[in-house]
A and B are shown apart, each in its own frame.
Chain A
Amino acid sequence: MKTILPGPILVDTTAHESAEKGWFGWVATVDHKRIGILYLITASIFFLIAGLEALLFRIQLAVPNNHFLSPEAFNQIFTMHGTTMIFLVVMPVLIGLGNYFVPLMIGARDVAFPRLNAMSYWLLAFGGLLLHFSFLAGGAPAAGWFSAAPLNETPFNSTTGQDYWVLSLLVLGIGSVATSINFVVTILLMRAPGMTITRVPLFVWMMLITSLLIIYAFPPLNANVVMLLIDRQLNTAFFLPVNGGSAILWQHFFWAFGHPEVYIMVLPAFGMISEVIPVFSRKPIFGYAFVAGSTVAIGLLSFGVWAHHMFTIGLDRISESFFVAASLLIGVPTGIKIFNWTATMWRGSIHFTTSMMFATAFLIQFVIGGLSGITFAAAPIDWQVNDTYYLVAHFHYVLFGGSMFAVFAGLYYWFPKMTGRMLSEKWGVLHFWLTVIGFNMTFFVQHFLGLLGMARRVYTYPDLPYWGFWNMVSTIGSFILGISAVVLLWNVYASLRWGRIAGDNPWNAWTLEWATTSPPPAENFNRLPAVNGRRPLWDLAHPEDRDEKQAGKMPVLLSMDKTKAGMLTFISSESVFFITLILAYLYYVVLAPVAGKAVHTDIRKMVVFTVCLFSSSFTMWRAEKSMESRRTGSFHAWLVVTILLGGAFIVGEASEWWHLMHTGVVIDSNLFATAFFTLTGFHGLHVCVGLAMLAILLWLTFLPDFNHSLDAVKTIGYYWHFVDVVWVFVFSIVYVRPLL
């Protein structure tokens, strides 16, 4: 158990990789602060694009029987609006702020894997470009942001837009998982001395939980879009009911991602609110442990309730009742948070800065969105109002009135730290009121429209009583929102040029990011204050009235090599990807007997190659042992044997495929074959990646400056053992199960 002594601690100030100047410096950067800003700029650009799209369809909907947009254009524009706002605006803006502030708030110099961080950003940028390139390549996707099957299949959507949607989601998904692994490892392993996990700022805690949600929720989406891509490109029928596939399975997998995704977009916002409200109420957060704990509860529950998005597809009553009950439960931890924030403000000395005004509006609007959400949890109400404008109003109250308002609160709060200059409060107040009025005008009236029966996603509507009026109100509101965005942009521009110099800690806040200069130097801190509680800067200023009277009670958690930790996190995410593929296989081959003629697999041949693969795990372990005792010769020998055994497995797998294809069994023969080739193919692909890693490792060990990093070898070993363990499951399900 370490006791942290009070007093300033010097951090290692070896020069950060010297920052390149100019444009190239931004492109080549691996600094978490620059990458964070790149995220924010990218998100702003896409925010403008998606906002303009919204204005276009609000013009179309302003009056009944309008012909401003064609039905096709309307479909494309609302699909792009939704997809862009979710994947290219809300997520990147939250990840961007996280990127900038998580390392600062925990007193780290950078994230755990700076280059991986840069890769994640560029995957986002190119994923976004890929999605928007579809406009030039024959039309944007047009099946809505959740792209329900079978509408997303070739017979119903034959343009390439849908394929661009799939590919860009895949790229964005990989980037999001990569950046989340970075967050998890950074938060768990790179905290400053004294910054125990029970003391981290709540924004950091929420980013940790969000990252875990991304790591476990994105693999089902990735597997799902991969299957859709196979359907569309290789003519198979995973989700095509006419050929025996299941459109409902698409929904299950999509919402297994889609519901946690809601919390991915809202938990970091909760985190920002939990930073802003205490600082501007001049009180510590009320019930830190409850805010942190209820976040975990929300995160866990979010994985178990996705079927409430599917009440209208015809689930049976029994299933519905279970998911109604579980969905209602989510209201409890969310409500706890609302009470915590309110209690923090209670009898505080509240400073209504623009940031605090946005946070207060967040509280009210999020409660409205949350309450209408609870109405959706009741299946009979859901049958009535699902896919009406009532739903549109609900999720905009959560995602705009909630998440985006929190982002604005966070932006006004942290802008001084990022730029060194204050955002103008005068323009800020104007921005705030325009946003509040515009937002509520646009979306509150949509509750009425929904209850009047107006379905979402209709490109126009007949002149029914009140419909035209409320739609016009909504359209006017959306233009006010558009003006508010212009005001914000002007505020940012003007404040960057002429804004008041901020100083290190303009808000007199308490967390570590305010203990360095604004903007922070490349290495973040020259000196870190001692961390003896949740508010280190308060403790520093008030040594007589510290938050925690006794220092350093908590033991330091986990000391682990960060590369290993990163690999283990990655492997746990990959496991979910394989669980999804295995469930799909079981569904098509075992559970829903529509798969067609069984594929004649050759178990005797595969047993031999399976033994090869399993023994390669043993030889890899021997290689690690040799490295441990620094016997380079034997290490090389075991590594080469491992590669040969893995290679033999791939050859065996290939010969199995070759044989099947020669007997006329190809991926689009029937669902059985589709599921078989997809599952074994993805496993084979992972083995190949493992082989490539082993080969690179072997090559590196022959270089003169190889430093005998046992951790590196073990990291690659983990991956290799993982692909073997996956084969245990694939082999038993594909090859052994039919024998039983």
Chain B
Amino acid sequence: MNEFFRTPRIAFFLGAIVLLGMAVPSAAPILAGHYPFTVRMGQHMLLQLVIPPLLLMSLPVKKSWRIWPPMDWTLKQPLITWLAGLVAMWGWHTPALCNAAVRSPFLHDAQALSLLVMGAAFWWPIAGPARAQRLHPLLGMFYLFTACMACTVLGIIITVAPANLYLAAPLPGLFNDWQFASPMDQRAGGLLMWVPGCLIYVCGILGLLARFYEPGPEAFPAVEPERTA
């Protein structure tokens, strides 16, 4: 426990909790329908791209983690975890599903939870606490780069798409004065995914590079990923 407080892990953990606090209360069903689309997009980005890696980095690093055999197996398949990230992001932003999640409180919670879980699966081979299950930094960079490309493409589509695809209501008060409504709202949401979304992946890639150039033999696994019996 002491070790937890002495390392950056505590900072990652607190950061994740604070961001979670920002992202989740707005998930309360009463408010959700009344938020601009951009705010919801920001929420999704936090839930999928920022909070999971922070939580993962707050875990103690071990050689390998054993949780539950099927899950352990899944987390060792980069293609599956990559697809998990892709499916969560593209799936929840198809207009039908995205709008359904605004109308139904149950779907809304399912959305938040699945973004978190699938986000965690996506980040596991990059920021996960199991050293043996991490991708080699160069492969990891490719993993993040391609995911970034998929995120960019979706962001572009949402930005360019005809307005009013997504249910949204402007906030009363200040936001009303800004006249922050569709089409501007939807465009801003798309851009949020396109530009800052991409920057999150870039940060991940730079983190991998830092690990790559860090001296010492234990920074990342050797050529063959270790097979556990």
Contact = CB atoms under 8 A, between A and B. Distances in A.
Contacts of A462: none
B194 A322 contact: yes
B157 A591 contact: yes
A717 B189 CA distance: 40
B222 A293 contact: no
Contacts of A322: 191-192, 194-196
A319 B159 CA distance: 9
A501 interface: no
Contacts of A592: 160, 162
Nearest to B218: A553
Nearest to A552: B217
A252 to B, nearest CB: 8
Interface string A298-315: 001101100000000000
B130 interface: no
A297 B206 contact: yes
Contacts of A591: 157, 160-162
A586 interface: yes
B209 A292 contact: yes
A541 interface: no
Nearest to A554: B217
Contacts of B159: 319
A633 to B, nearest CB: 33
Contacts of B201: 300
A289 B201 CA distance: 19
A1 B226 CA distance: 13
B205 interface: yes
Contacts of B215: 553
A411 interface: no
A641 to B, nearest CB: 27
B175 to A, nearest CB: 14
B187 A304 contact: no
Nearest to A329: B199
A136 interface: no
A316 B184 CA distance: 9
A289 B207 CA distance: 12
Contact of A297 (B202, B212, B221): B202
Nearest to A548: B215
A373 to B, nearest CB: 18
Residue of A198, A292, A322, A329 with highest tally of chain B CB at under 10 A = A322
A583 B156 contact: yes
A556 interface: yes
A735 interface: no
A301 B202 contact: yes
B17 interface: no
A734 B145 CA distance: 27
A11 interface: no
B153 interface: yes
Given A1-B222, A326-B199, A553-B215, A587 B160 contact: yes
Contact of B138 (A197, A559, A593): A197
Interface in B133-174: 136, 138, 141, 145-146, 148-149, 152-153, 156-157, 159-162
A572 B210 CA distance: 25
B181 interface: no
B191 A319 contact: yes
B5 interface: no
A297 B194 CA distance: 17
Contacts of B198: 300, 303-304
Contacts of A329: 199
Interface string A570-596: 001000100100010011000111000
Interface in A581-633: 583, 586-587, 591-593
A555 B222 contact: yes
B223 interface: yes
Contacts of B196: 322
A553 B216 contact: yes
B32 interface: no
Contact of A289 (B152, B199, B213): B213
B184 A318 contact: yes
B60 to A, nearest CB: 24
A689 B94 CA distance: 34
A296 interface: yes
A262 to B, nearest CB: 18
B190 to A, nearest CB: 9
Interface residues of B, number: 39
Contact of A304 (B153, B184, B199, B209): B199
Nearest to A576: B149
A593 B184 CA distance: 19
B191 to A, nearest CB: 5
Interface string B64-104: 00000000000000000000000000000000000000000
Given A318-B188, A558-B223, A587-B160, A300 B209 contact: no
A586 B202 contact: no
Interface string B92-132: 00000000000000000000000000000000000000000
B186 to A, nearest CB: 10
A270 interface: no
A113 interface: no
A696 interface: no
Nearest to B209: A293
Given A297-B202, A559-B223, A583-B156, A318 B213 contact: no
Interface string A665-700: 000000000000000000000000000000000000
A197 B162 CA distance: 46
B45 to A, nearest CB: 14
A278 B201 CA distance: 32
A304 B195 contact: yes
Contacts of A301: 202
Contacts of B149: 576, 579
A323 interface: yes
Given A1-B217, A300-B145, A557-B223, A583 B195 contact: no
Contact of B212 (A198, A316, A323): A198
A296 B209 contact: yes
Contacts of A293: 206, 209-210, 213
Nearest to A319: B191
A244 B223 CA distance: 53
A321 B153 CA distance: 19
A736 to B, nearest CB: 14
Given A316-B184, A555-B223, A583 B153 contact: yes
A572 B4 CA distance: 41
B71 to A, nearest CB: 27
Nearest to B156: A583
Contacts of B162: 591-593
Given A301-B202, A304-B152, A318 B187 contact: yes
A303 B152 CA distance: 10
Residue of B192, B210, B217 with highest tally of chain A CB at under 10 A = B217
Contact of A579 (B148, B153, B160): B153
Contact of B202 (A300, A553, A557): A300
B124 to A, nearest CB: 21
Contacts of B216: 553
A550 B79 CA distance: 36
Given A198-B213, A304-B195, A557-B223, A296 B161 contact: no
A555 B196 CA distance: 34
3 nearest CB pairs, A to B? A289-B213, A555-B222, A322-B195
Given A1-B217, A318-B188, 7 more contacts: A293-B210, A304-B195, A316-B187, A555-B223, A558-B136, A572-B146, A591-B157
Interface of B: 136, 138, 141, 145-146, 148-149, 152-153, 156-157, 159-162, 184, 187-188, 191-192, 194-196, 198-199, 201-202, 205-206, 209-210, 212-213, 215-217, 221-223
18 contacts: A1-B217, A198-B213, A289-B210, A289-B213, A292-B209, A293-B213, A296-B141, A300-B148, A304-B152, A316-B187, A318-B191, A319-B191, A322-B195, A329-B199, A554-B217, A555-B222, A579-B149, A583-B157
